[in-house]
Amino acid sequence: MLYTPDIETLRVAHRICGTLSGTLPSVSQQNVFLGTPLTLLPEEVAALVNTGIACIVHDAQSHGTPTKHQLQRWAQVRKLIIEAEMRDREASVAPVKVDTSDKAQKKRLEREARKAAQAQQSELSSVTVAEPEPAAPPAVAQQQQAYTVHVPGPSSELPWYTARIFHTIDEAREAGVWTYPQDVKERAECAVFRDLWEKGNYLGPGIKFGGNYLVYPGDPLRFHSHFVASVHQSRTAAIRPMDIVAFGRLGTATKKVHLLCGYDDESGTVSYHSIEWASFG
Task: Check pLDDT > 90 for residue 276.
Answer: no
Examine residue 162 and state whether it is found in any structural domain, yes or no: no
- How sure is the predictor about 278, in pLDDT bands with cuts at 50, 70 and 90? low
Nearest residue to 191 (alpha-carbon basis) of 218, 165, 212: 212
List the end-to-end C-alpha distance of the chain, in Å, as a whole number: 39
Mean pLDDT, range 5-31, rounded to an integer: 87
The 10s digit of each residue's pLDDT in 55-77 is 999 888 888 888 888 888 888 88
Q: Supply the mean pLDDT for the chain.
A: 84
What CATH number corresponds to the domain at position 237? 3.40.1350.10
Instruction: Report, as residue numbers or ranges, the catalytic residues.
Output: 216, 224, 256
Task: Check pLDDT > 80 for residue 141.
Answer: no
Examine residue 135 and state whether it is found in any structural domain, yes or no: no
Poorest-pLDDT segment among 37-41, 100-104, 127-131, 193-197: 127-131
Integer Cα distance of 167 and 54 in angstroms: 8
Give the number of domains in the chain: 1
What is the model's pTM? 0.70
- Tell me, what's the pLDDT at 148? 78
Higher pLDDT, 142 or 76: 76
Examine residue 101 and state whether it is found in any structural domain, yes or no: no
Percent of the chain whose pLDDT exceeds 90: 41
Examine residue 137 and state whether it is found in any structural domain, yes or no: no
Task: Check pLDDT > 70 for residue 198.
Answer: yes
- Tell me, what's the pLDDT at 158? 79
- Tell me, what's the pLDDT at 48? 96
- Tell me, what's the pLDDT at 78? 84
* Residue pair 214/68 in contact by the 8 Å Cβ criterion: no
In angstroms, the Cα distances linking 225 to 120, 199, 208, 220, 268 are 92, 15, 12, 7, 26
Integer Cα distance of 15 and 55 in angstroms: 17
Examine residue 185 and state whether it is found in any structural domain, yes or no: yes
Task: Check pLDDT > 90 for residue 281.
Answer: no
Question: Residue 258 is part of which domain span?
Answer: 181-281
Mean pLDDT, range 100-118, rounded to an integer: 76
Percent of the chain whose pLDDT exceeds 70: 85
- Tell me, what's the pLDDT at 139? 55
What secondary structure does DSSP assign to 43-107, as a single string?
A: HHHHHHHHTTS--EE-HHHHBPPPPHHHHHHHHHHHHHHHHHHHHHHHHHPPPPP---SHHHHHH
Examine residue 174 and state whether it is found in any structural domain, yes or no: no
153 DSSP assignment: S
Around Cβ 248, how many Cβ atoms within 10 Å?
A: 18
- Tell me, what's the pLDDT at 99? 55
Task: Check pLDDT > 70 for residue 126.
Answer: no
Task: Check pLDDT > 70 for residue 267.
Answer: yes
Around Cβ 146, how many Cβ atoms within 10 Å?
A: 9
- Tell me, what's the pLDDT at 52? 95
Side-chain half-sphere CA neighbours of 209 within 13 A: 27
β-bridge pairing 202-205 and 213-216: antiparallel
Nearest residue to 167 (alpha-carbon basis) of 177, 158, 159, 157: 177
Task: Check pLDDT > 90 for residue 3.
Answer: no
Q: What's the count of helices (H) and strands (E) in the chain, helices before strands?
A: 8, 9
Examine residue 158 and state whether it is found in any structural domain, yes or no: no
The 10s digit of each residue's pLDDT in 160-179 is 888 889 999 999 999 999 99
Instruction: Give kind and range of the element (H or E) at residue 203.
Output: strand 202-205
* Most confident of the following: 101-110, 130-139, 184-193: 184-193
Task: Check pLDDT > 80 for residue 208.
Answer: yes
- Tell me, what's the pLDDT at 92? 77
Integer Cα distance of 12 and 5 in angstroms: 11
Q: Which spans in 160-258 are helix H?
A: 169-174, 184-198, 241-253
Around Cβ 152, how many Cβ atoms within 10 Å?
A: 9
Burial (0-12, 13-18, 19+ Cβ within 10 Å), 116? exposed
Examine residue 251 and state whether it is found in any structural domain, yes or no: yes
Nearest residue to 17 (alpha-carbon basis) of 203, 190, 199: 203
Nearest residue to 65 (alpha-carbon basis) of 204, 189, 159: 159
